[in-house]
């Protein structure tokens, strides 16, 4: 067997027919690199068909969870992530700003809810919050939660007790991506270790928060390294409830500004393989969607993407506007999900807006 985070793989890959068989296995946390590569290597139509079959077995294929992401503290980050325009060391035109006030965030959250978002995600450009920052973020989380929205935060590395304090404030999800395959990580980031990310994810799970964890493709990695990213996600102790798959947005001023764009069909393959490896997780079509045409997005939904961001800027890069997304949903006969609060629980259930109470396992709550 191959260590799930080692990046090594055997020389012989399973045949496509062997790869097909893995979609019929129970939930697993012991995927080998060979098995994941064999899925990537399937004929495109076969891979997408298998992914859609898995998607239908665990989710409503015509319902999409809609989130809005707001940068509540922009710029000035001390990290050197090669893709990120918020890093202070890169000249990207992003100006450092202080943490937003509760009222300002609340106004944005109300607008997001009115536009159809069921989850409000808040990002802060920190290496990690200081102890003094947590009460301020907790106050924001409480205010947003009181609107009836699901809440998610991405604040960087968490210190002792931070995850529990955020959960006590009503936070539902914590986002912390592993970004890429373990063996490619050092090519992208030098100011924090891969293990640092795993340690924060462990704190999030231990606090009982739902985990949002994915990565970025198109940063110059090989297909084997893309497989390594998805292998690492699938072999975490628990599959993340939400798995955002981002396509690199090459921002001028960052080290990856001139990175060649990933073939769109390779991106669809990544969505499909993520769906097969983590059947109950909600796979999110995340950053880079602005660069995708409607046909590619439709393929992603068919291949297993069950969530998108829309509305506000995706941190400091754009994403399609609300009107265009709503029109695309109408053309594809997709329905946005809504939050239905359950008395006495912190986490809200996600159900179809037209079939509340159906209980057929669509969306994030079924993956908890």
Looking at the domain assignment, is residue 236 inside a domain?
A: yes
Do 176 and 194 meet the contact criterion of CB atoms below 8 Å apart?
no
Set 33, 119, 121, 213: catalytic member: 121
Tell me how far apart the alpha carbons of residues 186 and 134 are, in angstroms, rounded to a whole number. 29
Confidence at residue 323, expressed as pLDDT on a 0 to 100 scale = 80
Do 5 and 225 meet the contact criterion of CB atoms below 8 Å apart?
no
Looking at the domain assignment, is residue 16 inside a domain?
A: no
Q: Which residues pair with 305 in a beta bridge?
A: 283
Q: Which residues lie closer than 8 Å to 297 by C-beta, 6 or more apart?
A: 285, 289, 328
Confidence at residue 25, expressed as pLDDT on a 0 to 100 scale = 54
Looking at the domain assignment, is residue 21 inside a domain?
A: no
300 is annotated as an active-site residue = no
Confidence at residue 350, expressed as pLDDT on a 0 to 100 scale = 30
**Helix extents (H) in 235-315:** 264-277, 294-303
213 is annotated as an active-site residue = no
Do 171 and 141 meet the contact criterion of CB atoms below 8 Å apart?
yes
212's tokens: 């949002």
45's tokens: 């139509």
Compute the CA torsion angle 277, 280, 286, 290 (nearest 10 deg). 90
**Ramachandran region, residue 83 (left: φ > 0; alpha: ψ -120 to 50; beta: rest):** alpha
pLDDT (tens digit per residue) in 56-78: 999 999 999 888 888 888 888 88
- CATH number, domain at 228? 3.20.20.70
Cα dist. 361→62, 190, 208, 280, 352 in Å? 13, 40, 20, 9, 10
**Ranges under pLDDT 70 in the chain:** 1-25, 311-320, 339-368
**Helix extents (H) in the chain:** 16-21, 33-40, 44-58, 102-114, 134-145, 162-168, 185-188, 194-206, 223-234, 264-277, 294-303, 322-332
Set 50, 119, 212, 364: catalytic member: 212
Confidence at residue 311, expressed as pLDDT on a 0 to 100 scale = 59
Rounded mean pLDDT of the chain? 83
Please, how many CA atoms are within 13 Å of residue 69, restricted to the half-sphere of its CB? Answer: 25
284 is annotated as an active-site residue = yes
Looking at the domain assignment, is residue 366 inside a domain?
A: no
Set 197, 275, 284, 289: catalytic member: 284
Looking at the domain assignment, is residue 4 inside a domain?
A: no
Phi/psi at 72 (nearest 5 deg)? -90, -10
Confidence at residue 6, expressed as pLDDT on a 0 to 100 scale = 33
Question: Which 3 state secondary structure label does DSSP give 175?
Answer: strand
Confidence at residue 322, expressed as pLDDT on a 0 to 100 scale = 76
Confidence at residue 347, expressed as pLDDT on a 0 to 100 scale = 30
Looking at the domain assignment, is residue 15 inside a domain?
A: no
Phi/psi at 165 (nearest 5 deg)? -65, -40
Domain region containing 188: 29-352
CA angle 224, 278, 113 (to 5 degrees): 115
Looking at the domain assignment, is residue 213 inside a domain?
A: yes
Set 13, 33, 50, 77: catalytic member: 77
362 is annotated as an active-site residue = no
Q: State pTM to two decimals.
A: 0.81
Set 13, 33, 50, 84: catalytic member: 84
> How many domains are there within the chain?
1
Set 50, 81, 192, 335: catalytic member: 81
Set 13, 33, 108, 152: catalytic member: 152
Confidence at residue 208, expressed as pLDDT on a 0 to 100 scale = 94
Looking at the domain assignment, is residue 65 inside a domain?
A: yes
């Amino acid at each position: 067997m191959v260590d799930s985070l080692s990046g090594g793989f055997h020389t012989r890959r399973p045949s496509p027919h062997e790869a097909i068989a893995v979609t019929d296995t129970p939930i697993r946390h012991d995927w080998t690199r060979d098995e994941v590569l064999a899925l990537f290597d399937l004929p495109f139509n076969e891979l997408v068909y298998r992914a859609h079959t898995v998607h239908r077995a665990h989710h409503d294929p015509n319902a999409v969870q809609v989130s809005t992401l707001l940068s509540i503290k922009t710029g000035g980050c001390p990290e050197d992530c090669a893709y990120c325009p918020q890093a202070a060391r890169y000249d990207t035109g992003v100006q450092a700003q202080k943490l937003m006030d509760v009222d300002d965030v609340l106004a944005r959250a109300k607008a997001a809810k009115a536009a159809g978002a069921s989850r409000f995600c808040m990002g802060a450009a920190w290496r990690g919050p200081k102890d003094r920052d947590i009460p301020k973020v907790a106050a924001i989380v409480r205010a947003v939660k009181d609107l009836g929205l699901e809440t998610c935060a991405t604040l960087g590395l968490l210190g002792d007790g931070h995850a529990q304090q955020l959960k006590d404030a009503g936070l539902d999800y914590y986002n912390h991506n592993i970004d890429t395959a373990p063996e490619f990580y050092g090519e992208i980031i030098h100011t924090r270790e891969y293990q640092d990310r795993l340690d924060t994810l462990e704190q999030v799970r231990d606090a009982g928060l739902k985990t949002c964890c994915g990565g970025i493709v198109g940063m110059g990695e090989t297909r084997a390294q893309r497989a390594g990213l998805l292998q690492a996600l699938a072999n975490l102790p628990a599959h993340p409830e939400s798995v955002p798959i981002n396509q690199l947005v090459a921002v001028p001023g960052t080290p990856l500004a001139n990175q060649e764009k990933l073939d769109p069909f390779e991106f669809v393959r990544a969505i499909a393989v993520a769906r097969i490896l983590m059947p109950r997780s909600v796979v999110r079509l995340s950053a880079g969607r602005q660069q995708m045409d409607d046909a590619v997005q439709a393929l992603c939904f068919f291949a297993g993407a069950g969530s998108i961001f829309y509305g506000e800027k995706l941190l400091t890069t754009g994403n399609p506007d609300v009107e265009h997304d709503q029109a695309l949903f109408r053309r594809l006969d997709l329905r946005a999900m809504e939050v239905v609060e359950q008395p006495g629980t912190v986490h809200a259930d996600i159900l179809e807006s037209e079939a509340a109470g159906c209980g057929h396992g669509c969306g994030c709550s079924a993956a908890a």
